[in-house]
Structure 1
């Protein structure tokens, strides 16, 4: 049975842009997406002119190669119309548009493409990008200088190397002829979709059992849910054995091409609403710059390469400085904390004798925060029972001199056999010592058993 196509097209202005510079078309044989550039200076006009001219080739062709030639000629003719429009309306100077289009001819399709709108094919559960972006960052990716992930956030990602417009009288258009199968699902979209919705999300939507219209609505909705700062246009074409009820009624034009042409300048962005800021702060803070064209010349490319190299060097230097500052701050904090602990003293035991410790009775993992500052000849076993337990539990001191006063009282207690040691802080009195909660080793304990001992 001859394969048929069922299709749908949707275009949305997005959450940030004030006007829709995208245009889309889903017809009987032709399917196309155009993304205008030039900001308020006619991006919508350029895409509308292109789609209106290209849709004239929505007809049957004897072969896919004939359709390929006709589609390429239509893009060149659209380019000439845009140039003539700029000549008549000088305020539109610099406007242009991307175009991705295909024509079905029997079991094949003819493709024409320029710019960074995209064509994807979903076949047997696998999503494949058919077209290649004509952008500066894509050239960097192709040359191995950056990764696709880096390209997605590159500051020059809005630079287009090829477009239709008044910038080039004979633009180079990519064309191809490919086979189609029943069950294929083809997606044409502006970068408002591909730049803000991950390919896995796109694949998941296309792999669903929804029809073409439901899929287009879902893709646009998901893009809006992700903030959708840019215009987004989606055209889905299903290759199926199902015969459409009315092929002529299937033709749909969306976006700026569906509205009357106007040459009045308009603001490029609409005010950002508070709910958008709250729900999508990252997306709103990274509103895309208007795409602009730069000639695809080796000199310009070399200049951008040099600029990109300088940018990477600056970024590495900035990261290096930030890392050094962070390490220095961490080392400083550790040193300051250690110095603070070393201002404290307490009395405990060390190898069966009374000792003065410097630091605190704590440890960080295997690292003790105290060590023996001064050993004595007072045997712990010579102390009265109650005093001996206090020393084993450690006795806090307010200073080194206070610790030595405590030792003097312990020495007297050992000599007289009476509980005369104080807790420290008042050398003129001898209250009962208060344990700090950290037990000392026994009289025969090894150095490692002493609290904080090294």
Structure 2
């Protein structure tokens, strides 16, 4: 049965890259985003070849099982297409592509996914990420070693653990079936969108209820406003709804939209090795599928980074504690330059320090017992001494005691 709903596809080069390696498709029952990688030529070719293989799946299916089988088979066939292409043109070695695909079968969405492009479902005012990124940092998140927020800015966030490429004829594809219902909005996107626009802002845009094409335009603007360092490809699918239904003409966007998307441009000199993970030029790959030994080095590097982070926190904490201790010591040292005259058990005593206490800690100690009996003092002088009399120095404190003695003699 032909899917009942509406959809739109959009792809943009972004603000940094000089060519579009993404491909997108919005058809009658099939919806796809593929994010290619492999440099100036390889990414274009990889995403275009994958989409060309998947386009043949855009028709009705008797069951979700049949659709899922077709998706898995097409993804494997696409990997074979990439391998054959590299055999014929070795300069494209290392190219690959992510793929996120949905086939609508009655009230179900049949999903296939590999890489770090994503599928979201907006339902009941909530946006939910349906696919799980096949990335190094996602593995760190799953193991509890970093948080999802830390993953957004991790220096190895572009390292892919799985990809549709020329290295494996049997790619490990996630495929599953989910029920869908009228009012659902499905979003398929490359990481050019979800890598720079967070879920909260995407959800607010999806909630506006605009037509799929208008919604895609608004999401693209958010990515461009955020700098759009990568290609941005968006496919939005509404289940049912008030907007016009599928027109009958598939919409193809990105590299696969033009014949040159599957041609092989000449390789430019000075390409950056896939081992170099610094900032890439606009026409260089944005994703990497690591070899096993390289992955081990990445894991060890992350361990070293975690250790450095822990050491940094410990050193920082020790510095803060040292600063607090120094401040307290300085304050206490200052108090010991002060004196005051007060009452002992039966005599007038000169104290060193200040009259205040910090909890159970006294900031003063008896310094000299003057031997002057309290009972010889006038009532006024005795009350004044019991309330303490501050002095700037020991000499000043002795002068106060001498004055008390004079008051006794004068009385």
Pair 128,115 (structure 1): closer, same or farther in 2 beyond 3 Å: same
- Report whether the alignment pairs 1:416 with 2:410: yes
Structure 1 residue 255 corresponds to structure 2 residue 254: yes
Is the aligned partner of 1:315 residue 2:309?
yes
TM-score (norm 2): 0.77
**Larger RCO: 1 or 2 (CA < 8 Å, sep 6+):** 2
Change (3 A) 1:28 1:335: same
Residue 9, structure 1, aligned to residue 12, structure 2: no
C-alpha distance 3-231 of structure 1, shift in aligned 2 (>3 A): closer
Distance 1:76 1:370 in 2: 83
1:141 CA displacement:
4.6
Max Rg structure: 1
Matched residue, 1:342: 336
How many aligned residue pairs are there? 395
In the TM superposition, 1:130-279 aligns within 5 A as 130-142=130-142, 148-149=148-149, 151-226=151-226, 228-240=228-240, 244=244, 247-249=247-249, 251-258=250-257, 260-261=260-261, 263=265, 265=268, 268-269=280-281
1:115 CA drift (Å): 0.9
Partner of 1:54: 54
How far has the Cα of 1:361 moved from its partner?
A: 5.3
2:408 & 2:233 partners in 1: Cα distance?
A: 92
CA distance in 1 between partners of 2:350 and 2:190 (Å)? 76
User: In the alignment, does 2:77 pair up with 1:71?
Assistant: no
Helix, strand or coil: the match of 2:265?
Answer: coil
Aligned partners of 2:32 and 2:369: how far apart in 1? 89
SS of match in other structure, 1:248: coil
What stretches of structure 2 of length at least 5 have no aligned partner?
A: 272-278
Tell me the equivalent position of 2:96. Answer: 96
Distance in 1 (CA, whole Å) between partners of 2:17 and 2:359 is: 56
Any conservation in 2 of the 1:25–1:254 contact (CA below 8 Å)? yes
Does 2:393 align with 1:394? no
| CA distance in 2 between partners of 1:355 and 1:225 (Å) | 74
CA RMSD across the alignment: 3.9
- C-alpha spacing 1:407/1:123, structure 2 compared with 1 (3 Å): same
Q: Is the 8 A contact 2:86 2:93 kept in 1?
A: yes
Give 3-state SS (helix, strand or coil) of 2:112's partner.
Answer: strand
Range that drifts further, 56-65 or 169-178: 56-65
